[in-house]
């Protein structure tokens, strides 16, 4: 299997698996227990928290461990909505967000909140002017993803942050796709909240984190005992917390000069060489994650290509229901033309992708499409 679907999920890095082992095998203490076994578990959780914080350049007590990207997004969006409801009832997001942002927003609409869905340009980028125009005195939160899962387009979060700051509005970014792929500093971005999803950076599925800027209190999603400083109840998942800590430590060391951008560029140039003007790049030409290539194969259906692409794992945004192909809502919001959207395949590369795998994938694509 040639795995070119790292934006869907990543394999667990063997070094991460190793870091989990003591807590699977023998270090089973409850971090709340006062005996030595408990203390060691607590230390493991806090060391991991510090490693996550180091990757985001924030303070350890600004990190809340969660079950993943979806929970972090729900916690932050619903938590702000509840905590700030006396200040206002308006939230701004974009049309290209992940369902774990769009659906909490829809849920809040059902409770009487108002949500504005900012449009995007042809590259999938939100316009800062649109955000500025949409902010009103009722706006309590702007939530815009850092990088898009389908196209890799990176949003101008730093610019949006300036606008939010000027207007006194809180800003969240869903960074599930960017953490581990590009350097991220919460202060450089200027965000108040940020979402991390562990399984996108070589930790297991079911672990994530929320950055909540110091001094801001929001309503928890899970009420119970005082875990995570009262922000998320439930006995800590020591094994997975250790995994996320290790994954973040590795990401911090290997985030640059890891060869992924070169390999992605090589893939794109080879595709251009073979397919010439019968392919389109969906997404921003430069402001894009270094591992993501969303290619529209004109005259083809994405799901048909994937069905025929034996032993290559990739994704398509188009869906086929009862013989009818529907195009991805993200590409639709970008105004991508029908052909490039129907034939869209998202290839996403990662730490373990090799040049030989890319060469084989190209051969297979040429074999079925040319």
Residues marked active site are found at: 320
**254 secondary structure, DSSP code:** H
Our finding on whether 70 is near ligand PLP (CB under 6 A) is yes
CB of 202 to ligand PLP, least distance (A): 13
CB of 90 to ligand PLP, least distance (A): 22
Nearer to ligand PLP, 89 or 316 (CB): 316
Query: Which DSSP category does 97 fall into?
Result: -
Contact between 280 and ligand PLP by CB under 6 A: the answer reads: no
Per CB under 6 A, contacts with ligand PLP among 18-57 are none
Q: Which is nearer to ligand PLP, 140 or 147 (CB)?
A: 147
Distance of CA 81 to the CA centre of its chain: 21
Q: Site size for ligand PLP, by CB under 6 A?
A: 14
Report the first-to-last Cα separation within the chain, whole angstroms.
22
> Does the protein bind ligand PLP through residue 153 (CB under 6 A)?
no
d(CA 19, CA 204) in angstroms, rounded, equals 12
CB 345 to ligand PLP: min, Å: 17
Q: How long, in residues, is the chain?
A: 370
Residue with the shortest CB distance to ligand PLP: 69
Instruction: Judge whether 109 and 95 are in contact, CB under 8 Å.
Output: no
Query: Minimum Å distance from CB 226 to ligand PLP?
Result: 25
68 near ligand PLP (CB under 6 A): yes
What residues numbered 338-367 form the site for ligand PLP, per CB under 6 A?
Answer: none
- DSSP strand E in the chain: where? 2-3, 63-66, 90-94, 114-118, 139-143, 170-174, 193-197, 208-212, 279-281, 292-297, 312-313, 319-321, 324-326, 344-348
| HEC secondary structure over 219-249 | CCCCCCCCHHHHCCCCCCCHHHHHHHHHHHH
149 binds ligand PLP (CB under 6 A): yes
241 touches ligand PLP (CB under 6 A): no
- In whole angstroms, give the CA distance from residue 97 to residue 164: 19
Q: What angle do CA 345, 346, 347 make, to 5 degrees?
A: 110
Nearer to ligand PLP, 176 or 309 (CB): 176
In angstroms, give the least distance from the CB of 167 to ligand PLP.
Answer: 25
CA dihedral 171, 219, 61, 102 (to 10 degrees): -40
Nearer to ligand PLP, 135 or 207 (CB): 207
Q: How far is the CB of 33 from ligand PLP (least distance, A)?
A: 29
Give yes or no for residue 62 binding ligand PLP (CB under 6 A). no
Cβ proximity to ligand PLP, 171 vs 279, nearer residue: 171
The binding track of 93-122 with respect to ligand PLP, each residue x by CB under 6 A or -, is -----x-x----------------------
- Which CB sits closer to ligand PLP, 199 or 351? 199
Q: Which is nearer to ligand PLP, 42 or 98 (CB)?
A: 98
Measured from the CB atom, the residue of 29 and 68 that comes closer to ligand PLP is 68
Give Cα separations from 245 to 45, 48, 198, 208 (angstroms): 8, 4, 9, 10
| Out of 4, 55, 64, 69, the residue judged to bind ligand PLP by CB under 6 A | 69
On the 0-12 / 13-18 / 19+ scale of CB atoms within 10 A, 356 is exposed
- 259: which 2 tokens? 């060869």
Answer for the pair 209, 53: CB distance below 8 angstroms, yes or no: no
CB of 250 to ligand PLP, least distance (A): 18
Instruction: Please state, in angstroms and rounded to a whole number, the distance separating the CA atoms of residues 198 and 176.
Output: 8
Tell me the closest approach of the beta carbon of residue 154 to ligand PLP, in angstroms: 12
Q: Rule CB under 6 A: which of 165-224 touch ligand PLP?
A: 174, 176-177, 197, 199, 208
Give residue for tokens 């108040």: 192
Specify the pairing of strand 193-197 against strand 170-174.
parallel
- Tell me how far apart the alpha carbons of residues 152 and 282 are, in angstroms, rounded to a whole number: 9
Binding site for ligand PLP (CB under 6 A): 68-70, 73, 98, 100, 145, 149, 174, 176-177, 197, 199, 208
């Amino acid at each position: 299997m040639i795995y070119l679907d790292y934006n869907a999920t990543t394999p667990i890095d063997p070094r991460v698996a190793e870091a989990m082992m003591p807590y699977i095998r023998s270090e089973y203490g409850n971090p709340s227990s006062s005996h030595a076994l408990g203390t060691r578990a607590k230390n493991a959780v806090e060391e991991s928290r510090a490693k996550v914080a180091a990757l985001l350049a924030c303070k350890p007590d600004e990190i809340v461990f969660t079950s993943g990207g979806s929970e972090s997004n729900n916690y932050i969006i619903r938590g702000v909505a509840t905590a700030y409801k006396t200040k206002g009832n308006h939230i701004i997001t974009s049309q290209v967000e992940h369902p774990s942002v769009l659906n909490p927003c829809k849920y809040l609409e059902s409770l009487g909140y108002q949500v504005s869905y900012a449009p995007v340009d042809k590259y999938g980028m939100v316009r800062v002017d649109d955000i500025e125009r949409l902010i009103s005195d009722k706006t309590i939160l702007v939530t815009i993803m850092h990088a898009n899962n389908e196209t890799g387009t990176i949003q101008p979060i730093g610019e949006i942050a300036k606008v939010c700051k000027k207007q006194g509005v809180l800003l969240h970014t869903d960074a599930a796709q960017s953490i581990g792929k590009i350097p991220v500093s919460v202060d450089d971005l200027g965000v108040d909240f940020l979402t991390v999803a562990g399984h996108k950076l070589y930790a297991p599925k079911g672990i994530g984190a929320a950055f909540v800027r110091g001094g801001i209190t929001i309503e928890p999603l899970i009420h119970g005992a005082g875990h995570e400083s009262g922000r998320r109840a439930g006995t800590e998942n020591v094994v997975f917390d250790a995994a996320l800590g290790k994954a973040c430590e590795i990401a911090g060391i290997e985030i640059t000069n890891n060869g992924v951008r070169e390999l992605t560029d090589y893939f794109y140039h080879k595709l251009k060489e073979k397919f010439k003007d019968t392919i389109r790049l969906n997404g921003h030409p430069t402001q894009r994650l270094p591992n993501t290539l969303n290619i529209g194969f004109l005259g083809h259906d994405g799901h048909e290509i994937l069905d025929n692409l034996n032993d290559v794992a990739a994704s398509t945004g188009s869906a086929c229901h009862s013989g009818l192909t529907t195009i991805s809502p993200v590409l639709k919001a970008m105004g991508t033309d029908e052909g490039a959207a129907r034939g869209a395949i998202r290839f996403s590369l990662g730490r373990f992708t090799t040049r030989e795998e890319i060469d084989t994938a190209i051969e297979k694509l040429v074999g079925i499409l040319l």
